[in-house]
Structure 1
Amino acid sequence: MNPHPFGARLCRAMDERGPLCVGIDPHASLLADWGLGDDIGGLERFSRAVVDALADRVAVLKPQSAFFERFGSRGIAVLEKTVEEARAAGALVLMDAKRGDIGSTMSAYAETFLRKDAPLFADALTVSPYLGYGSLRPAVDLARQSGCGLFVLALTSNPEGAEIQHAVRSDGSTVAATVLARLAAENAGADPLGSFGAVVGATLGDLSAYDLGINGPLLAPGIGAQGATPRDLPEVFGAAVRNVVPNVSRGVLRAGPDPSALRSAATRFADEVRAALPSR
């Protein structure tokens, strides 16, 4: 087993840099707001500016793969460089690709992002369990071998997610509760934190009906532009709030392209999160 699994590295990064994950989401409207073209040149300048401003100070950077993929092979090349430079500056990189499939196809997705010599190797990957949690086994096994992490979609903030995630199984448990229970089993015995996390929206309100104590990180999107604030986190996550990794994208990125403004926005959110969350 890797002597430095993702969960332990994440804890150290959040202790040293603050508990914040910042997205790298170069969608067309944000490129326009920065005065950049919706083209490969704009993508390159945007991504480099975010990495240069933030990669040496935030715990996690989360590039959204789709916004790079839409430019084809040249966009993927920019994504490779973004991941490489962010990791070189000390940030953990969470690839937001939400992959999910079965058998050899899931294995190929895992090798794309979780194999150490892969061009797109990242510290962690978002995955979808909705072909059955067991379909994720190739990614779980390779992540464990490589010292990487996974963030599994469990209770997402989009309203459409409820029709699947809140569906009740024959044993009376919801699909989301089953995903959380499987993650808790993956993280059993890990110290200080397991490497297999869940995606749980910060906008969902009281989640006391769910056991979020999975001994793993809880990626919490929805802070900033989607309406949630760091002050909402204790109410949403309860006793599990100490394991939350708050994610902010537009709330920080709209401060660009000025590097000092990007850094100030990230620092402000990190300070607000520190004030709202108990110490680990």
Structure 2
Amino acid sequence: MTFGERLTKAVEAHGPLCVGIDPHPSLLDAWGLSRTAEGLERFALTAVEAFGGRVSMVKPQAAFFEACGSRGVAVLERVISELRDSGTLVLVDAKRGDIGSTMAAYAEAYLGDSPLAGDAVTLSPFLGFGSLQPALDTARANGRGVFVLALTSNPEGAEVQRSVAPDGRTVAQTIIDFATARNSGISPCGDVGLVVGATIGETDVDLSGFNGPILAPGFGAQGGSVADLKRLFGPDMRNVFPTSSRDVLRHGPDVSSLVSAVRRVQESL
């Protein structure tokens, strides 16, 4: 099955919510865990127990695992493995982007046969969309997907993403158009997704022809609401995946409380 087919089935079973696993130091503190690899492991595996098999997609944030060195990366590998064993799609939030053989190595790490490979990975296209070609090819060959940063909600992002290219399009629109072309003709949706922040405010980009999934971080604790999602993406949001991390994770470490928090967010969507 293609990534788009698997994602469509996951949404039919569980709805569009994507839940993040972000072992932020402040959350470790709130859960009464140490800021160590052991605390990280307990946090992450508790989240796996709560989310696995209950949501369409889970997004572990790689940076917080990498911060603990090799032991943290080993925990990330276990998180990916256990989530996939539960039948849950895993989006590794690593935001990789480079050129040539280095991009090819990142592609193998996150989209190939590596233990770090989930079902999809986030990518940064700001060395040029064409620089992502090794990852795009590896993803398609292995039935996996990518989510490419297009229009993010951090204030600094506008300096680049809303800049106007020589042809009159914004940089964000050129990324959207490249992704749209890559997904052309694929059913039920393409394997190249976009990241568009739920709290970007007004947007002047055209997503009407885009045939792929859209990850919308910033939903929940960062202020994004269902109303924001409808305003940004219109009433038909079948391929929009709101992401909630802290708004759900703050209910830990009790697994049943985490499960209840997930259900409340799912119902709100």
Instruction: Tell me the TM-score normalised to structure 2 length.
Output: 0.98
Q: Tell me, in whole angstroms, the C-alpha distance in 2 between the residues paired with 1:39 and 1:199.
A: 30
**How many aligned residue pairs are there?**
269
Q: Tell me, in whole angstroms, the C-alpha distance in 1 between the residues paired with 2:177 and 2:68.
A: 38
1:205 aligns with 2:205: no
Q: CA deviation at 1:209?
A: 4.0
Q: Which residue of 1 aligns with 2:264?
A: 268
1:121 aligns with 2:117: yes
1:37 aligns with 2:49: no
Alignment of 1:65-76 (within 5 A): 65-76=62-73
Q: Which residue of 1 aligns with 2:107?
A: 110
Q: Which residue of 2 aligns with 1:278?
A: none
Q: Structure 2, unaligned stretches of length 5 or more? A: none
1:43-80 deviation per Cα after TM superposition (whole angstroms, max 9, x unaligned): 01001100011111111010000000011110010000
**Equivalent position to 2:5, from 5, 8, 22:** 8
**Equivalent position to 1:96, from 93, 96, 100:** 93
One-letter code of the match for 2:65?
A: F
One-letter code of the match for 2:72?
A: G
Task: Rate the CA distance shift 1:240–1:106 in 2: closer, same or farther, 3 A.
Answer: farther
Q: CA deviation at 1:240?
A: 5.7
**Equivalent position to 2:210, from 214, 218, 225:** 214
Task: Rate the CA distance shift 1:173–1:58 in 2: closer, same or farther, 3 A.
Answer: same
Q: Tell me, in whole angstroms, the C-alpha distance in 1 between the residues paired with 2:79 and 2:205.
A: 39
Task: Rate the CA distance shift 1:212–1:248 in 2: closer, same or farther, 3 A.
Answer: farther
Q: CA deviation at 1:23?
A: 0.3
1:92-112 deviation per Cα after TM superposition (whole angstroms, max 9, x unaligned): 000000000000000000000
1:25-58 deviation per Cα after TM superposition (whole angstroms, max 9, x unaligned): 0010000000000001100100110001111111
Q: Tell me, in whole angstroms, the C-alpha distance in 2 between the residues paired with 1:45 and 1:212.
A: 42
Q: Which residue of 2 aligns with 1:248?
A: 244
**Equivalent position to 2:77, from 61, 80, 84:** 80
Instruction: Tell me the TM-score normalised to structure 1 length.
Output: 0.94
**Equivalent position to 1:51, from 48, 53, 65:** 48
Q: Tell me, in whole angstroms, the C-alpha distance in 2 between the residues paired with 1:208 and 1:39.
A: 43
The percent of aligned pairs where both chains have the same amino acid is 57
Q: Which residue of 1 aligns with 2:61?
A: 64
Task: Rate the CA distance shift 1:219–1:212 in 2: closer, same or farther, 3 A.
Answer: farther
Aligned-partner SS, 1:73: helix
Q: Which runs of 4+ in 1 moved over 6 A?
A: none
Alignment of 1:159-170 (within 5 A): 159-170=155-166
Q: Tell me, in whole angstroms, the C-alpha distance in 1 between the residues paired with 2:18 and 2:235.
A: 20
1:133-162 deviation per Cα after TM superposition (whole angstroms, max 9, x unaligned): 000000000000000000000000101000
**Equivalent position to 1:155, from 148, 151, 169:** 151
Shifted more, 229-238 versus 262-271: the winner is: 229-238
Q: Is the 8 A contact 1:53 1:262 kept in 2?
A: yes
Q: Tell me, in whole angstroms, the C-alpha distance in 1 between the residues paired with 2:12 and 2:201.
A: 26
Q: CA deviation at 1:195?
A: 1.0
1:223 aligns with 2:182: no
